[in-house]
Each structure stands twice: as structure tokens, then as C-alpha cells.
Structure 1
Amino acid sequence: MNAVVIAVLIMIVLSLLRLNVVLALFIGALAGGLVAGMGYGEVIGVFTEGITGGAEIALSYALLGGFAALIAYSGITEVLVTFIIRTLKKEQSKKARIIAKVSIIAALLAISIMSQNLIPIHIAFIPILIPPLLSLMNELGFDRRLIAVVLTFGLTFPYVLFPIGFGQIFQNTIVSGFESAGTDIAFGQVAPALVLPASGFVVGLILALVYYRKQRIYETKTFGSANETEASMKTIAIALVAIAATFGVQILTDSMIFGALAGIMVFFLSFQFKWSRLDNELVDGIRVMAYIGIVMLAANGFAAVISETGHVGPLVDGIAETLSGQKVLIVGSMLLVGLIVTMGIGSSFATIPIIASIFIPMGMELELSIPAIIAIIGTAGALGDAGSPASDSTLGPTAGLSADGQHDHIWDTCVPTFIFLNIPVLIAGFLAGLIL
């Protein structure tokens, strides 16, 4: 019995049964550790030590949640949403609503893609942008599962295909994996080999757009408290400056924490709002997003236990020995292992070094081409990112879409993204491994 498989399966099954994700992660890690021969104390120690790796992202989520509440309190999003809703009601036409829906999807897709490459802020924009737009999405009848797929697509597709921003980090990690295995490849070889696997993301997005086109009804709830006064040009200007400060500081410092703090301080130092009221709004916003941060902490503990078991290598070796000479089954099995490992760890960037050290020697021994090995590693690393309960590429969309408590992390984010993104990418990556 392989500890990695046991841990991930238990975590996924318990999550699908609607057990709290944090509990599912801990129980899965405990089961995996025990199967690997680790004692209770050792599992708990490794899990606890691993939690510290997620402290930054957890605090980032909390502060960004507070900042999002201050943005809503300023009235800027209320003005925008009210204007769009009034325009739609004035038009009273199906065409106007379709144009509005297409425009929102296109804008969210563009912003999420740019967050990976052109302006590498990753998930920082989601808690700020999405919660205030929920009432507009409700008015237009959006199915939030579609928005989850759109956002996750934008957070994963760019780094697989485009060699800039986070894509440069991802693809350099693959190059480093080859160097560690004693094989030198050029950085420019990576992106072309990942074109076919990345096409799976595009196919999945198109399918999701068709499948989730029907209207879904949500109850309109307020995110943040209503301001005592209507938004003025001054308060709107303050909100815009705060948003610019948040993104600017994050890019300069490479820290979402300091970016969020910069935006929050703009509100307090503007002296246009009562500090006591700002403090209440900040705490309420932190409370809304803090749970996602807790999940990230537990996910890091789970990943630490998975790595400590040392069962990833034996899993791959066992498959290679059993399926020796059967290329179709070997490529499929390698991708399946990548899916399992990444679903558990929740990060493609953390998964690549683990699977590369095993897949590259194995691929060379099986006489697979360099492009095929790159495609398999890149696909295997990206697979779980789009469907894992522990991935920030799914936690980020949930953090925004669940601000009013009407979006479930597992069934409304992870299951749709797994079906519409992971499965097409798995198929595309499998084909790439065979024909390249």
C-alpha cells in the first residue's frame, strides 16, 4: 500500500463527503504517515513544521479580505455595480445582458491571465475584485461555477504556456530538474513542448462556457457594511489610490502582505473615514477570508507529510517495473502519479522538483524523447493545481466567490475545475507524451 495514494484518496473522499477540508487534510496526512511507518508523534511534528510554510499566504488572504471590505465600504464598487444594473434595466433587452455577461467573463479572464505574467500579483486581485461584484453576477444570473473555472484557467494556463512571470519560474523549474538529472536542455525547449498539453485548458474552458451557460439563482447579500454616506468623488479617488498602492507595493516587494497593508494604510491615513468604523470593516473582512488561510496552512502540513513519507519514488518505480515496454500504459501511469502527487501537495511549483527527479531518469531509460518528457512533467505538475482542494488556484476563486457564503469550495470550485480543466489537460498531455 502506497502512503501517498492512501493519503490523497482519503483526503479527497472525505472532502467530497463534505467533511471540513482542514479535517480531511489532517486525517489524510495522518493515515499516509502511519502507512509509511511514521509514528503519531512524527506525523504531527512534520505536519506542524510544514504549517509554517503557509503562514505568509494565510496572512495575505486575511489582510486582502480586510482590504476588500474597505474597498466595498468606500462605495466605489457599489457605484459601478449600480450603474451597470440601471443600464441593464433601462435597456431591458436580452442582447444587453448577454453583452454584459460576455464583457465580465472576458475582463475576469484577461485580469487573471495578466496576474500570472504581465503583472505577477497571482491571486491578490480576487478577494478585492470578486466579492463586490457578486450582486452584479446575481443580477445577470451567472453560475458561479463558471466563474470559478474562468479564474482557475487564468491562474494555471498562462504559467504552463508563456515563459514570462510565473511561467518563467515554472519552466525554469523543469530545466533545473533536467540539470539535476544530468541532462542539459535549453530554456527555449520547454514552452513548445507544452503547447499541446496547454491546449487542454482551452478546450476545457470552452466546454465549461457551454455547460454552465444557464442561469443559477443566488440570494443577494451585502459584502461589508453599508457606508453612512453616499460615495463621493473623494472617497472613490481614495479607493483607486489604495488599489494602486496595493498592487504597486506587492510588485515592488514581492509580498502580498505588504501590498495589502499599503492599501489599508491609504484608507486610514486619508482621514476621510472614522477609524473606529474602518477598524470594524477591516475585522469583518479578515473574518470572511481567514478560513481560506487556515486551509492553506493545513495544506502545507499535508504536503510536508507527503514528502516525508518518501513513497513517491517507489510508486513510480513500481509502475515502471510492472509496465516495462508498454509505452501507452507507462505515459498514462506517469501522468496519473503526477495528478495524485499534485492533488495532495496542491502546488505545481512544489511538485515539479519531486516528480522531475524521478520521471526524467525513467523517461530517458524508456527512450522517450526530450519533448515528450518535458510534456509529461509539465502536464503532471499542472494537473492537480486546477482541481486540488489545497491549491491556491482553487482556494483563490473560492475566497472571492464564497464571500456571501453561497459558494462551496469542493463542489462549486474543485469539482468543476477538475472536470473541465484537469481531465482535458490529462488527455492532451497523454497525447503529447505519445507523439512528441
Structure 2
Amino acid sequence: MDILSNAVVVSVCVMAILCILRLNVLLSIIIAALCAGLLSPNLVQNYQNNQELQTKEQDSKNNTNRDNSHTQQDVKQQNILETITITGQILIDGMAGNLNVALSYILLGAIAIAIAQSNLMMFLVNAIAKSISNKKILLILSIGFFACFSQNLIPVHIAFIPILIPPLLGLMNKLKIDRRAVACALTFGLQAPYISFGVGYGLIFYTVMKDQINANGMSVDIQDIAGVMWIGGVAMIFGLLFAVLILYRKPRTYQNCETTNLETKKISFRRREMAVLLGICIAFAGQLLTNSLPLGAFAGLISMILLGGIKWNEIDSVMEGGLKMMAFIAFVMLVAAGYGEILRQGGEVQNLVLSLTNMAHTKFISASLMLAVGLLVTIGIGTSFGTVPIIATIYVPLSVTLGFSLEATILLIGIAGALGDAGSPASDSTLGPTSGLNADGQHDHIRDTCIPTFLVFNTSLLIVGLIGAMVL
């Protein structure tokens, strides 16, 4: 019963149910966050203790003597209004955790608009239409393949999807392709590369893992992580093939409209296309040199402006277009970060892990429970990058106690963090595919993106993660 009443479990279930009932994702996350705050008995006290600690630290810096009567006063009886107020404050403060991501999305959205205004994307669309226009499976797998580039080679992340996918919807409709298979292919391209390779977003993910594992008592480096996490990529390949070849292979009919009409036309490679292409390369190089995605994206935008890829009188429209394209996703990620902060300050994740560890009597059961907690947490906060710091604090000592090897520990933490990224209503790995596939209003975020990607990828990751933890 303690597990069923845990704030993490209840709030994630509330969010999932509201999303399935088609309440707006942003509103669903806010309601789930408020539920988590109300159900976390230690949230108010922990928040007040943190505030007092910060005040004491500030006072010591200012050499200020305070009356101890305030710090030693009895804890006020918590009431609903007080809890809601503090929960809201933590939600807002916690949103700062994804400011870097939100700024990245807006800038990358502007780059995507600049690409759309050139002929670069039409080169790709025409090539796809001519070479694989009558091959359903090859078309779906090619989309997943191109999506992989957005994580490692050209770091535009999900910003390419609203540009590439809508022009292809007419072709998909003609071939009666089930868009759920395409959603799985796009999610694969957004997630598998950062799990498998330590480049681009993968380097960020591996660095987070390395820092958190080292901070909790194990010594690892990037090479150790790269030598194990490719297993997660293999698991996702199995999930993708299952979705495309078996689960969503049957024809599905959609209505054609102006948005889905694919027009192939003769296009030329001009100075503008060259400038945009150079800007993309500079954005990639800038990210690698500065280890900052926003700075890399900013450098790419400025380069496009200076080289003529973006005309001076089009700068405002490009920035506004990027904002319109990515603003909703950026705000969902901000609110998800606030939700994660509520879970952290309430201490309910730790309580959930400790409750489950009491049930763990064998390595297999322990590994299963560890992966299940990672799945639950990531579905709630929508980011595997934010899940790793939450779970590593307990998972590393627990793995040592249970006798897991270094490789098994790395795999458990990495896959526990990655689980739920596919299938979470708040994840960019699901929000991105929906933004392109729903251009004509015929693709539902929950039923056609979240549920299919949850089934194929989380199942394969769970199975391979368990086998890997037992074997390594």
C-alpha cells in the first residue's frame, strides 16, 4: 500500500489518465505536479528547511546576527492552501532546470525555419519521393535513419520534424502507411543515438551518467559507458523492426488535404542554400567546441545571417517562426523540469526506491525493480537526462551491495534513465513526432505516438536491460 500511495506513482498515473482523456499535455503535467505536492508529506518541511539553510548561509556571508526564535519555532500545521502555494513555488523555481533546453529549442526552431525557406529540405524530400516512393518499409526506416542525424551530426534535435514530415504526409497517405510506425521511427532516431554513441546529445547523456556514478562511489569514464550502452541501442533496433515489420504494418487510410500534398519540382542549389548549409556546420562545430547547444545554435544563426542564408529583412519572421514551432514543446519541457523538482524535494522518489529495495531478494528482482522505478520517473518528468541524477544516488550503493559488476551498474542506470523517454507525454521524443505527423489533424499525441512508442521501445529496453544486467 505504501507504494500505491506514493506521490510519484499516483501523480504519474494521474498525468497518464488525463492525457489519455485528451486533456492538454501542459495542463496534465501541472495537475500531476500539484498532486505530487499534496501527496508528499515532507515537501513543505523540506522546502522550509532549504529556505532556512539558504538564509543562514546568506546571513553568515553578511555577518548578520539573527534571532534564533524564528529558526526554532514549531513547524506550522500544514494545510492544503499552504502546500499548494509552496508546490507552485517549487514548480516555478524548478523550471529553471530546463531553461538551457528551452532556449536551445527556440534557436534550433529558427534554424529549422531558415532551412525550410531554402531549398535544402526540398532536395531531401524530392530524393525520398523519387527513390523510395513505392517502398513503404524502406521509406519508414529511412525517416528513422535521417532522424538519427539530428542527435549527433546536425544537432537540430526535433526542430527538423515539422519541416521534413508534413510534405511527406501525402506520400504516406498514398501508400496507406500507418503513422504510428513513422512515430516509432522518429522516436527511435531521437533516442537511440544518444543512448548508443557519446557524440552530440550522447556526449551530454554520457557525461551526466559519468558525473553521477562517480559522485556516488564508483569510478567510471566515458569509454566505460560507451562500451556498455550500445546494448540499449541494439534493444531499440529490435523494437523499431517489430513496430515497422509486424505491429503497424497493415495499411491505414487517412484523408488528403492541402497540407499533405507533395509537390516535386525542379530546384537549384544557390548561394542561399550554401550559406544555410555552412551555418548548419558551424552550429555543429560550435556545439562541440563550447559544449553548449544554445551557443552552437546561436553561432549557426549568426553565420546564416552574415553569409546571406537569412536575409536581413527576414530575421524577425525567422525568429517568430522558430518560436511558433517550438514554443509549446519548450514550455512543456520547462514545466516537466518543475515537476521533477517537486518529486526531488518531496523525497518521494527515494521513498519509492527504498520501499522497492525491501522487496528485492535476488539480483533479478532487484534489477527489475530498479528499471521499473526509472521507467516511472522518466514518464513523469519526460527526460532521461534529468532521471539519472535522481536514481543514481541510490542505485550505485544498491548495486554494490547486491554484487552487480561495474558494467551491469552502468547498464542498469543508463537504461533505467532512458526507459520512459519513449512513451512519456512530456518527452521531446514524443512531442517532436506528433508536431510533424499531426500537421493535418489526423494523428493523436497519446494514442498514435505515446502508446505505440511506449510499447515497442520500453518493452525491448526492459528485456535487454534485464538480460544484460544478469550476464555482465
**Structure 2 counterpart SS, 1:290:** helix
Mapped pair 1:418 → 2:418: no
Mapped pair 1:48 → 2:83: no
| Equivalent residue number for residue 305 of structure 1 | 342
Mapped pair 1:5 → 2:42: no
Shift of 1:159: 2.1
Which string of whole-angstrom CA distances, capped at 9 and with x for unpartnered residues, describes residues 298-348 of structure 1? 22222222222111112111211233x333222111111111111112111
Which string of whole-angstrom CA distances, capped at 9 and with x for unpartnered residues, describes residues 56-94 of structure 1? 544554565566566556566568757876x69xxxxxx
Shift of 1:266: 7.5
Task: Provide structure 2 residue ranges, at least 5 long, that are not aligned to the other structure.
Answer: 45-82, 288-292
Q: Give the whole-Å Cα distance in 2 for the aligned partners of 1:258 and 1:294.
A: 20
**2:286 aligned to which of 225, 249, 252:** 252
Which string of whole-angstrom CA distances, capped at 9 and with x for unpartnered residues, describes residues 162-186 of structure 1? 2333333323333323321222234
Asked if 2 retains the 8 angstrom alpha-carbon contact of 1:246 and 1:260, the reply is: yes
**1:386 aligned to which of 402, 418, 422:** 422
Q: How does 1:352-367 map to 2 (within 5 A)?
A: 352-367=388-403
Identity of aligned residues (%): 40
Shift of 1:28: 0.5
Q: Give the whole-Å Cα distance in 2 for the aligned partners of 1:129 and 1:31.
A: 38
Q: Give the whole-Å Cα distance in 2 for the aligned partners of 1:140 and 1:396.
A: 23
Asked if 2 retains the 8 angstrom alpha-carbon contact of 1:173 and 1:353, the reply is: yes
Higher mean C-alpha displacement, 342-351 vs 72-81: 72-81
| Equivalent residue number for residue 211 of structure 2 | 176
Amino acid at match of 2:226: A
| Equivalent residue number for residue 27 of structure 2 | 23
Q: How does 1:305-324 map to 2 (within 5 A)?
A: 305-323=342-360
- The 1:78/1:167 distance shift into structure 2, 3 A limit, reads closer
| Equivalent residue number for residue 91 of structure 1 | none
Q: Give the whole-Å Cα distance in 2 for the aligned partners of 1:137 and 1:266.
A: 38
Asked if 2 retains the 8 angstrom alpha-carbon contact of 1:121 and 1:247, the reply is: no
Which string of whole-angstrom CA distances, capped at 9 and with x for unpartnered residues, describes residues 131-153 of structure 1? 33333333333222112111111
- The 1:336/1:177 distance shift into structure 2, 3 A limit, reads same
- The 1:283/1:405 distance shift into structure 2, 3 A limit, reads farther
Amino acid at match of 1:47: L
Asked if 2 retains the 8 angstrom alpha-carbon contact of 1:246 and 1:259, the reply is: no
Q: Give the whole-Å Cα distance in 2 for the aligned partners of 1:430 and 1:204.
A: 15
Equivalenced residues, count: 420
Q: Give the whole-Å Cα distance in 2 for the aligned partners of 1:327 and 1:292.
A: 39
Shift of 1:432: 1.6
Shift of 1:226: 12
Q: Give the whole-Å Cα distance in 2 for the aligned partners of 1:244 and 1:138.
A: 34
- The 1:434/1:402 distance shift into structure 2, 3 A limit, reads same
**Structure 1 counterpart SS, 2:340:** helix
Shift of 1:367: 1.8
- The 1:170/1:252 distance shift into structure 2, 3 A limit, reads same
**1:369 aligned to which of 398, 405, 408:** 405
Amino acid at match of 1:304: E
Asked if 2 retains the 8 angstrom alpha-carbon contact of 1:245 and 1:263, the reply is: yes
Higher mean C-alpha displacement, 14-23 vs 169-178: 169-178
Larger Rg: 2
Q: How does 1:313-352 map to 2 (within 5 A)?
A: 313-323=350-360, 325-352=361-388
Q: Give the whole-Å Cα distance in 1 for the aligned partners of 2:137 and 2:303.
A: 30
Shift of 1:251: 4.1
Higher mean C-alpha displacement, 294-303 vs 385-394: 294-303
Shift of 1:48: 1.4
Q: Give the whole-Å Cα distance in 2 for the aligned partners of 1:304 and 1:376.
A: 23
Amino acid at match of 1:46: I
Q: Give the whole-Å Cα distance in 2 for the aligned partners of 1:67 and 1:190.
A: 32
Q: How does 1:27-426 map to 2 (within 5 A)?
A: 27-37=31-41, 38=44, 39-58=83-102, 60-61=104-105, 68=112, 72=116, 97-98=134-135, 101-210=136-245, 211-223=247-259, 233=268, 238-239=272-273, 241-246=275-280, 248-249=282-283, 251-252=285-286, 254-255=293-294, 258=298, 261-262=301-302, 265=305, 286-323=323-360, 325-426=361-462
**Structure 2 counterpart SS, 1:301:** helix
Asked if 1 retains the 8 angstrom alpha-carbon contact of 2:107 and 2:298, the reply is: no
- The 1:357/1:401 distance shift into structure 2, 3 A limit, reads same
Amino acid at match of 1:344: G
Asked if 1 retains the 8 angstrom alpha-carbon contact of 2:279 and 2:304, the reply is: no
TM-score (norm 1): 0.83
More RCO (CA 8 Å, sep 6+): 1
Shift of 1:118: 3.7
Root mean square deviation of aligned Cα: 3.4
Which string of whole-angstrom CA distances, capped at 9 and with x for unpartnered residues, describes residues 79-123 of structure 1? 8757876x69xxxxxx9601xx45533432332223333444433
Asked if 1 retains the 8 angstrom alpha-carbon contact of 2:176 and 2:251, the reply is: yes
Asked if 1 retains the 8 angstrom alpha-carbon contact of 2:283 and 2:299, the reply is: yes
| Equivalent residue number for residue 55 of structure 2 | none
- The 1:369/1:233 distance shift into structure 2, 3 A limit, reads closer
Higher mean C-alpha displacement, 159-168 vs 407-416: 159-168
**Structure 2 counterpart SS, 1:97:** coil
Q: Give the whole-Å Cα distance in 1 for the aligned partners of 2:114 and 2:262.
A: 11
Asked if 1 retains the 8 angstrom alpha-carbon contact of 2:197 and 2:230, the reply is: no
Asked if 2 retains the 8 angstrom alpha-carbon contact of 1:146 and 1:208, the reply is: yes
Shift of 1:30: 0.3
Asked if 1 retains the 8 angstrom alpha-carbon contact of 2:212 and 2:392, the reply is: yes
| Equivalent residue number for residue 92 of structure 1 | none
Q: Give the whole-Å Cα distance in 2 for the aligned partners of 1:259 and 1:144.
A: 35
- The 1:145/1:212 distance shift into structure 2, 3 A limit, reads same
